[in-house]
Amino acid sequence: MGRITVIGSLNMDLVATSKYMPKIGETVIGYDFKQFPGGKGANQAVAMARLGGKVNMIGKVGFDSFGDILINSLKKNGVNVENIKKEKNCSTGVALIIVDEQANNSIVVISGANYKITKKDIDEILDVIKDSKIVVIQLEVPLEVVRHSLIKSKELGKYTILNPAPAEELDDEIIKNIDLLIPNETEVEILGGIEIKSEKDIVSASRKLIKRGVKKIIVTLGEKGSIYITEKEVRKFDAYKANAVDTTAAGDAYIGAIAVALANDEDIDIAIDMASKVGALTVTKEGAQSSLPYLDDVINFKKENL
């Protein structure tokens, strides 16, 4: 298996559970609070490691207890943490999450040390990228770092995966250096500049991005499955039904599974089926990294057990 390098965020997730989401100006009494290691980059790295991937994590935390917990969580899960730096005079990233009784979530992220990553930091770990097969990035670090990382990765001949979350418009220099883009419906709407009302709109928005240079796209649709789109083909994949408890990190789990399968030289059909199973397993448990399944869970996957 080829090694995977994840460049991205590490956050401590502070999760409150309430009956429903508060409206503007409303106070809601919650009935549970938990603390989970999270951050899209870290979540995806742990998902990969639990599925048997060889993973490097590149990112920053603060000199605080949250930072120590996040690094230890990654290390405990088998992720290489040698290139995670600690930033002085800056807090570790935090995500404030509300989960309602229907397992929907609303998230506010305070980036902290995640936004202290620089292009220089990436240049210092080019040997790590050079020794990797796949580089996975999200948008919870500065956009100039995303751009620089993608450019350098492609110069080194690496396969690049971008999860464009949280969504924002991307310039052509970023777009043309992406081998596989994995957005959800909201993200592809913003990136493609087309209001999404149907699967046909999703394909149209994706094809606009392909014309700009993206090689392939998988649009995740939650319980409705996913759509794989290239210049020449469009294929829909159904999701596995699950009794959802918490949807946090389901997208990260899906992306982690795709990366591991591709690092194992599996074809895209096998990669998407594996990712669909991993996503379904993830929503049946609470939290971000705590909900991510292991390879044995996927091997023993049975629809009726969800």
Cα separation, 194 vs 233, whole angstroms: 20
> Residue 93 has what pLDDT?
97
pLDDT band at 22 (very low <50, low <70, confident <90, very high): very high
Three-state SS for 174-216 is HHCCCCEECCEHHHHHHHHCCCCCCHHHHHHHHHHHHHHCCCE
Cα separation, 151 vs 290, whole angstroms: 33
Three-state SS at 251: helix
Q: Is the pLDDT of residue 132 over 60?
A: yes
> How distant, in Å, are the alpha carbons of 44, 122, 296 from that of 250?
10, 27, 18
The dihedral over CA atoms of 229, 270, 134, 67, expressed in degrees to the nearest 10, equals 100
Q: Is the pLDDT of residue 181 over 90?
A: yes
Give this prediction's pTM. Answer: 0.92
CB count within 10 Å of CB 262 equals: 21
Q: Which stretch of 65-69, 99-103, 170-174 has the lowest confidence by average pLDDT?
A: 99-103
Task: Supply φ then ψ for residue 127, to 5 degrees.
Answer: -65, -35
pLDDT band at 107 (very low <50, low <70, confident <90, very high): confident
Q: Which residues pair with 144 in a beta bridge?
A: none
CA 141 to chain centre: 12
Q: Is the pLDDT of residue 161 over 80?
A: yes
> Residue 303 has what pLDDT?
59
Residue percentage of the chain with pLDDT more than 70: 99
In tens, the pLDDT along 203-222 reads 999 999 999 999 999 999 99
56 exposure class (CB count in 10 Å sphere: 0-12, 13-18, 19+): buried
> Residue 248 has what pLDDT?
74
> Residue 241 has what pLDDT?
87
Tokens 């009956």 belong to residue: 19
Three-state SS at 167: coil
Show the domains of the chain with their CATH numbers.
4-10+38-91+114-305 (3.40.1190.20)
Q: Is the pLDDT of residue 306 over 60?
A: no
**Secondary structure (DSSP) of 124-158:** TTHHHHHT-SEEEE-SSS-HHHHHHHHHHHHHTT-
Cα separation, 155 vs 158, whole angstroms: 8
Cα separation, 174 vs 177, whole angstroms: 6
Q: Is the pLDDT of residue 301 over 60?
A: yes
Structure tokens at 265: 């030289």
Which residues carry out catalysis? 252
Task: Please give the average per-residue pLDDT across 231-252, as a whole number.
Answer: 89
pLDDT, greater one: 258 or 104: 258
> Residue 153 has what pLDDT?
98
> Residue 287 has what pLDDT?
73
